[in-house]
Every structure is written in structure tokens, then in C-alpha cells.
Chains A and B, each alone.
Chain A
Amino acid sequence: MGNFDFGVIVRALPLLWEGMQVTLLLTLFGIVGGIALGIVLAIMRGSRFLPLRLFAGFYVDLLRSLPLVLLIFWFYFLVPIAVGHPVGGFYAAVVGFILFEGAYFCEIIRSGIEGVRRGQVMAGLASGLTQTQCMRLIVLPQAFRAMLPVMLMQSINVFKSTSLVYVIGLRDFLTAADLIGGRDNRLTEMYVLVAVVFFVICWAASQAVNLLQRRIAS
């Protein structure tokens, strides 16, 4: 550690920033897509139609039993075989993330929806709103408020998990740092930097969640 060279980091910044953009984009797609899929799955799990309920339940159990790395491999190596042409690392990762995170967000959303009193829907129905309107105007807004802290924690997890795309060589923040470290023989600087950046972002985000949680409670 005696010759920790900050200059290495400064010179690497443009490439690292490119990596960080990939990481942030993956996070964004993972969260937005995951929540969208999660809502659909959560509604399916609450459906009166048994096959939908069973399918969504099976999907969630299955996806939550598989390691995310496996899913990323899957989409990177097997989907191109199925569709007949390469899908590209970024798209494979995005699809993998959405399918995986959708299962987790589903469970968060479901518990949020179940936390809304049944009488609220009764009141909505009694005033002539349809089931769908009750869900959209009455249940989901309340559910989202209650589950926001948990959702944000899960979003921080998504951000951290994006580093797994290292396994398919997609140049995210960690992979970029690793490449530079290997090229310049400066792995110490690079790995320390990656750790610091992840820590600062995740720590700040979880502090924000705590703050928010206290504001919701009051």
C-alpha cells in the first residue's frame, strides 16, 4: 500500500465513468422493469383465476431459488442458441435482471397490497368503481407508500448485483476497474476505489431510506 497512486485513478476516470454508466443503466432497467413485472405478477398472484395464480406462484418460487449469475449465463449463452443470433451482453443482462428482480419485487408488492384493508376495496366498489379502478386508485397508492422503504432497499441490492455481469465480460463499473487494474498492474488502487464508490453510494442511499422510513412513521 506504500505506493498508492491516485494518479492511476484520475487517468482511469473516463473509462471508469463509461463503466459506471453501464452499471447505472442496468440498475435503472432492473428496477423499472422489475417493478413493472412485479406488479403484473403480484396481481396474477391475487387473481381469482387459479391457473394465473399457480403460474405466478411457481414463477416466483423458481426464480427466487436460482442464483442470479446462472440467469445471466443463461440469457447470454442459451438464448442466442434459441433465437439463432447473439443477443449482446447488455440485453442478456437486462432481461436476466428484470426476470430475476420481478420475482422479488412481486413479493414486496404483494405484501404491500395485502396490507391494505379489505374494507377499502369494499368502499371503492360500493361507490361504483370497478375492481381495476379500485386497485389503481385506492389499493396501489396505499400499498406503494407502505412498501417504499423495502423497495428502495431492494433497489440498492439491484445496484450491487449489477457487478455480477462481470461473468459475461460486460464492461460495467467493476469490470472496467478490473480491466484497467490488470492493464496498468494497479489492482490495489482499482479494487479499493470500487469498494469505496459502492460503499458511498449504497450507504448514502440506505441513510435516505432510514430518513424516509422515519418520515412515513410519523
Chain B
Amino acid sequence: MITLEHVSKWYGSTQVLNDCSTRIEKGEVVVVCGPSGSGKSTLIKCINGLEPFQQGTITVEGISVGDKATSLPKLRARIGMVFQSFELYPHMSVVDNICLAQRHVLKRSAEASRNRALELLERVGLRSHADRLPATLSGGQQQRVAIARALALDPIAMLFDEPTSALDPEMINEVLDVMTELAKEGMTMVVVTHEMGFARRVADRVLFMDEGAIVEDARTASFFEKPASERAVRFLSKILQH
């Protein structure tokens, strides 16, 4: 469904992505991990064209992201994205946050958008918070709203950019639970995260990145049992110490 072929990217003369290739099948859950600054976030932002890249090709259901003729707004509307810092719109109520793109991108009616929004809020357990402002919600609740907002466009795949990194520890699970649920339902997901427990339980495959390159691309079990590269071994020993 999503293919990356020899993707490279530079900021000025600094190379941030180095010849990255992989394929993500429909229904697959792929966790991207690696040390900070290794290019994980940059890589998934290339998939929906939020970050431009200079070399290689990325296609989503056959549509080339880097092609100038591709309508990026149209493409992005089909791929949901969840950010580390939630990025709910602070000037709108929770339900309006979820309706905005439905109204202006999918051109759904006010009523249809609201119904869909309420249905999704129910699903993430926040139906009663519909008319509140985002600032009055906890971090975990805000991130669940952000997930509902992305799902409202009925995406074919979801990208998660460190969705729990900005959360207090006691709120991490409520977000991971929603994501696990989503994975079970067969959503195609690419998740940048340091939550190795989540990766182990939910991911089909793990991409390990270092210095802009995909160093390892393995089935989850084999990645955790016998990582092939020394860098992955070192990373895992650091992150799994506790």
C-alpha cells in the first residue's frame, strides 16, 4: 500500500534520510524506532508530503507523493496523522476540531460531520467532552481526540509521530489502548514510538533507524529476539534496561 524506494533527504548539506526503502502492506502495523535525531519523524512526514525529499520515490496506493502533479491535500486527506504535541485547534471545541476537515476537505454536511465526530468520540471514550475546549482536557484525552480527528476522514492508513512522548506516564496507556484497538480492527499504521511494549504486542514489523538510514527491517519477534545489527542491540539494551 505504501512503498518507499531509495528515499534520501538533505537539509542544506546535512543528510537526514539516507536511501530508505520499505513496503507497508494493507492492514500492517509498523513501528519505527531508533535514537533521537535518527530521522524517524522526518521519514513518516515524507509519506504524506509534509516534508519534501530530494531523491527516491514514495507511493501511496500507486500515487507518487513526490510527483509535482499529485494533489497533496487530496492525498493527505486519505492518510490520518497524529502528532507528538496533539495539535488540537485551541480556539474550537473538541467536536469542531473533529468536524473541521470533514466540512472543508470532504465537504460533508454539518450534521453528517457532527454525527461522525460524536460516534468517534464515543469510541475513544470522550463523548461527554464534545463541547469542551481542548485546553480543559488532559494530555491523554487530547491525544485521543486527535486520533478521533484523524479517523473522521476515514483514512486508508494512519501515521503516528511519537504519540505518547509528550504524555505523563499515567496517561500513556489510555492512548496506546485506543491505538491497539485500531490495529486489531485492521487499520494500516506506521508508528514512531519508544514504547517497546506496544511494539512487541501490536507491531507486525519493526523498522530500526540510525543516522537517517533504515538499519533494520524485521518481523517484530525476530527484531526483539535477535536483532541483526550491533546498533539495534545497543539501542534495545539501553531502552529495555528498566
Contact = CB atoms under 8 A, between A and B. Distances in A.
Interface of A: 117, 119-120, 122-130, 133, 137-138, 141-142, 145
Given A133-B104, A137-B104, A126 B91 contact: no
A175 to B, nearest CB: 43
Contact of A127 (B85, B90, B91, B105): B105
B186 to A, nearest CB: 22
The list of the 3 closest CB pairs from A to B, nearest first, reads A128-B77, A123-B87, A127-B101
A187 B90 CA distance: 54
A122 B105 CA distance: 15
11 contacts: A120-B87, A120-B89, A126-B50, A127-B76, A127-B101, A127-B150, A128-B73, A128-B105, A128-B106, A129-B104, A142-B89
Interface string B104-147: 11100000000000000000000000000000000000000000
B40 to A, nearest CB: 16
B48 interface: yes
B89 A138 contact: yes
Given A125-B50, A128-B74, A119 B89 contact: no
A128 B150 CA distance: 10
Contact size class for B? 20 to 34
A141 B91 contact: yes
A117 B101 CA distance: 19
B9 interface: no
Contacts of A124: 101
Interface string B70-90: 001110111111010101111
Contacts of B149: 127
A127 B153 contact: yes
B190 interface: no
Given A129-B73, A133-B104, A123 B83 contact: yes
B87 A130 contact: no
B105 A126 contact: no
Contacts of B104: 129, 133, 137
A216 B76 CA distance: 34
Given A120-B87, A122-B83, A125-B72, 9 more contacts: A119-B83, A123-B87, A123-B88, A126-B50, A127-B76, A128-B101, A129-B73, A129-B101, A142-B89
A125 B52 CA distance: 13
Contacts of A125: 50, 72-73, 76
User: Which among B85, B88, B153 has the greatest number of chain A C-beta atoms within 10 A?
Assistant: B85
A127 B83 contact: no
